[in-house]
Amino acid sequence: MRLDDDFEDDYTADEAERREQSYRQEASSRAVRSSIVIIGLFVLITLGVVLIANKGKSPNRSGTAARTALESEEAARSGQSVDELISGSTLTASDLDFWDDYPVDDGEGSVSDGLATPTPTPEPEDPATDGKHTLITHADGSEEWVEINPYLQKNIYENAGFVYQKPFMKYYENNSRKSYAGVDISKDEDYVDFDRLKSSGVDFVMLRLGQRGYASGEMSLDENFLDNYARAREAGLDIGVYFVTAAVNTAEAYEEATFVLNTISENSITLEYPVALSGEKAGVGKGRMDDMEKIPRTNTAITFMKAIEEAGYYPILYGTKETLIQKYSLGSMIGYEFWLSEVSDLPTYPYTFTMWEYDLNGDVGGIAGGARMILSFEDYSMR
């Protein structure tokens, strides 16, 4: 390349060539510096975008990115190379990590990478082992786990204390027997030899005094009651009685209590054991109490037992586990005692009770057919 003659008079051809190369180098240097400036601006813009994305989350990182961007611009202006700019940066990979804008899966159902992880459903507790439920077997054979009321007084008997010594179930505490053997007797047992019962080890009998017809509503005396009472007394057995209710209101319940008390008074009956009310149905077919709700049924039972208690006797409510738990409001009957009917090797009824009918077909001397065997935790004759 030749320069203008007006400026070349004092230069030789070689000097002119050297100056031309110098100008070329200077132009190239300017181009490099321009490229660096453009790259620096690109880096600055990129860091600005990252800074905005991370605003409010990582102030320290934003400050670092801003300082680095300024340093990059200054470096570009000063003519630093791209390699020098990058190698001299104080940013780390985490400073440019925009993935922090997204939640991380913490293993507890949070959102991760934009995908929702459902919270796992906890495994339900096993009602057979959680200590909060008890198994009810209905009359049709179906089973149901029901929740135990934590506010009611619990069954305190230790399973290890029950010992079956044929024909009786007994209960022991500290190697000392704490139970008394009884039998439930009505006209259904026909003739009973009470002397043999006594010699077999029976301590007391619960005699059916009467019943109200489950369909007719008529009250009547058990056909064998007076004879059973007289011969049980002669045999020296302690005696309690029970009435099978079919009352559908408190007026009928009081009528039943009056019937029982009049029978006791008119026949000079002496009792050592309780006067029980049985809420179990005494026949088949439609019964008067079948459709009764829990509260009305409970009120009739309380009415009966209160009248018996006021007359000076021990009232007690008889029923199966299902009947007691699902047909009565036990929380309204605190202070009253219960006679449980549950055919089982061990009682599973979760609440307090003082008598347990554990076998409906026992074998004991004095009764020809199956005997309904009772264990009492109380010696009522000593009260």
Residue extents of the structural domains in the chain: 5-115, 146-382
Q: What is the pTM of this model?
A: 0.69
From 272, 209, 264, select the one nearest 238 (Cα to Cα).
272
Nearest-angstrom CA–CA distance, 18 and 15: 5
Return d(Cα 315, Cα 245) in angstroms, integer.
14
Query: What angle, 0 to 180 degrees and rounded to 10, lies between the N-to-C axes of helices 59-78 and 13-53?
Result: 170
97 or 254, higher pLDDT = 254
In angstroms, the Cα distances linking 375 to 53, 107, 274, 342 are 80, 56, 14, 11
Mind listing the pLDDT tens digit for each residue in 32-71?
Answer: 566 665 676 666 777 766 666 655 444 444 444 445 444 5
Q: Is the peptide bond before 167 cis (omega within 30 degrees of 0)?
A: yes
pLDDT, one tens digit per residue, over 256-291 is: 999 999 999 999 999 999 999 999 987 788 899 999
Q: Which has the closest alpha carbon to 364: 225, 238, 188, 196?
A: 196
The residue among 324, 322, 323 whose CA lies nearest residue 337 is: 324
CA 179 to chain centre: 33
State pLDDT tens for residues 113-164. Answer: 555 567 777 777 899 899 899 999 988 889 999 999 999 999 999 999 999 9
Q: How far is CA 61 from CA 53, 72, 86, 98, 101, in A?
A: 11, 16, 17, 11, 13
Query: For the residues 178-206, what does the mean pLDDT come to?
Result: 97
| Structure-token pair, residue 16 | 């002119």
Predicted pLDDT at 119: 73
* Two structure tokens written together for 189: 């047992």
> Do residues 242 and 260 lie in contact, with contact meaning Cβ atoms separated by under 8 Å?
no
The residue type found at 226 is L
Q: Judge whether 360 and 171 are in contact, CB under 8 Å.
A: no
Assign domain 146-382 to a CATH class: alpha beta
CA 96 to chain CA mean position, Å: 51
CA-to-CA dists, residue 32 to 21, 36, 215, angstroms: 17, 6, 112
238: tokens are 């302690």
For residue 37, give the 3-state DSSP assignment: helix
Strands 238-244 and 275-278: parallel
Q: Phi, psi at residue 207, to the nearest 5°?
A: -100, 135
Q: Give the integer Cα–Cα distance in Å for 210 and 224.
A: 10
